[in-house]
Amino acid sequence: MICNLQRYATHDGPGIRTVVFMKGCSLSCRWCQNPESRSRSLDLLYDERLCTQGCQRCTQHSSCFKREDSTSSVTILRHGLTENEMRLTADVCPSGAISLCGDEMDSEQIMAQVRRDNAFYQRSGGGLTLSGGEPFMQPKLAQQVLQTAHQEGIHTAVESCLHVPWHYIEPSLEFVDVWLVDLKHTDADKFLQWTDGRLPLIQHNIEKLGKSGANLLFRVPIITDFNDDEITLNAIIQQAAAHYQRFGGSGEIHFLPYHTYGMHKYHLLGLDYECARKPLDRPELLAFAEQQAKACGLTAILRG
C-alpha cells in the first residue's frame, strides 16, 4: 500500500524523480511530518473546515460517526472503524471533509506511473525514489519495484530510517544506486524516548550496508529540543565522517532544519502533535554544522 506518488521531485536524490511514498513505519518520531504514512493500513482524515453544517450522511452510514447537533463538528470513534466503513463514509461525504490515505498498488502498477517520466530521468540524471514511511516495511514490494526499475536502467534511490531487520533490506541491495539514510542521534536513550526505536538496530544496518559497498548519503533532521545542540550535531557529523572514511560513499551530509509543514495532518488524523509549534530558527547552529562537516572533509548541504 502507498500513501502518495509524487512526480517531478527534485530533493529526493539526483535529478528529476518520481517518489513513491509507501505506508508503514517502525518508528514513531515525534516530529514526523508524514503521520499518514506510519500505519501500513488505510487511514481516514477528517477536515472539519470542509464539513457541511447539518449534514448527517456519515452518521447515517456508520455508528462510529456522531454529531450532537447541526452546528457541531463530527466526532469519530476511530478505534472501531473498519476499512469498509472508511471507504463508504468517504464516498458519501459531499464536501470532501472525509478523505482516505492509502492505495493498494502492485509493483507493475507503480512502475507504469514511474515510466511516464523516463525522458525527464534521462535528461536530468533522475529516476525513482522509494520513501515513506519506511519502504522496507513492505520488503517484497520494495524489492520488486527496485529490481524492475534497475533492470530498465532507471536510477534508484531509497529514503530509509533502516529501523527494520536486515533480511528486509538485503534482497534489494543490488538494485539500489543510492541510499538516503537519516542520522538522527547518537544517544540510544534519547533516540528511544523521541522515536520509540532502537538505535543499535539502525547502526548495525548502516555498518552492514557499508560492508556491502552500498553508496550512502547521510541526512540529518535538526529537531528542536531533540538534537539541536552543538555537542549532538558534532557527534552525528563524526559518525558520518567515520563511515565514509571506512567504507567510502558520497561524502555528503545534508542538514534538514525542523519545519511544521505537516503539523495540520495530526489534527486531520485525530492525533496530538507533540513537537515544537514553530520551525527551527537557529542560523548560527546551521552555520556550525556546516563548518564542522567541512572540517571533517564532508560536503555539507543545507536543505530548506
70 and 212, same domain (yes or no):
no
pLDDT at residue number 245: 97
pLDDT in tens, 136-173: 999 999 999 999 999 999 999 999 999 999 999 999 99
Task: Give percent of the chain with pLDDT exceeding 70.
Answer: 100
96 and 178, same domain (yes or no):
no
28 and 133, same domain (yes or no):
yes
pLDDT at residue number 304: 64
pLDDT at residue number 70: 75
pLDDT in tens, 7-63: 999 999 999 999 999 999 999 999 999 999 999 999 999 999 999 988 999 999 999
The pLDDT of residue 73 is above 90: no
CA distance 284 to 304: 15
What's the structural domain count of the chain? 2
Task: Identify the H or E element spanning 20.
Answer: strand 17-22
CA distance 70 to 53: 6
pLDDT in tens, 89-136: 999 999 999 999 999 999 999 999 999 999 999 999 999 999 999 999
158 and 278, same domain (yes or no):
yes
pLDDT at residue number 303: 85
String of DSSP letters for 167-216: HHHGGGGGG-SEEEEE---S-HHHHHHHHS--HHHHHHHHHHHHHTT--E
62 and 177, same domain (yes or no):
no
The model's pTM is 0.94
* CATH number of the domain residue 81 falls in: 3.30.70.20
Average pLDDT, the chain: 96
Diameter of the chain by CA atoms?
65
Choosing from 101, 128, 150, the residue where a domain stops is: 101
Task: Give percent of the chain with pLDDT exceeding 90.
Answer: 96
pLDDT at residue number 173: 98
The pLDDT of residue 68 is above 90: no
Quote the domain boundaries for residue 181.
2-38+103-302
pLDDT in tens, 238-272: 999 999 999 998 999 999 999 999 999 999 999 99
* CATH number of the domain residue 203 falls in: 3.20.20.70
CA distance 118 to 135: 22
pLDDT in tens, 220-236: 999 999 999 999 999 99
Residue 2 has a CB neighbour count (10 Å cut-off) of 25
229 and 161, same domain (yes or no):
yes
What is the arrangement of strands in the sheet containing 2-9, beginning at the earlier edge strand? Answer: 2-9, 17-22, 127-131, 155-160, 178-182, 216-222, 252-257, 299-302
Residue 157's φ and ψ, nearest 5 degrees, are -140, 155
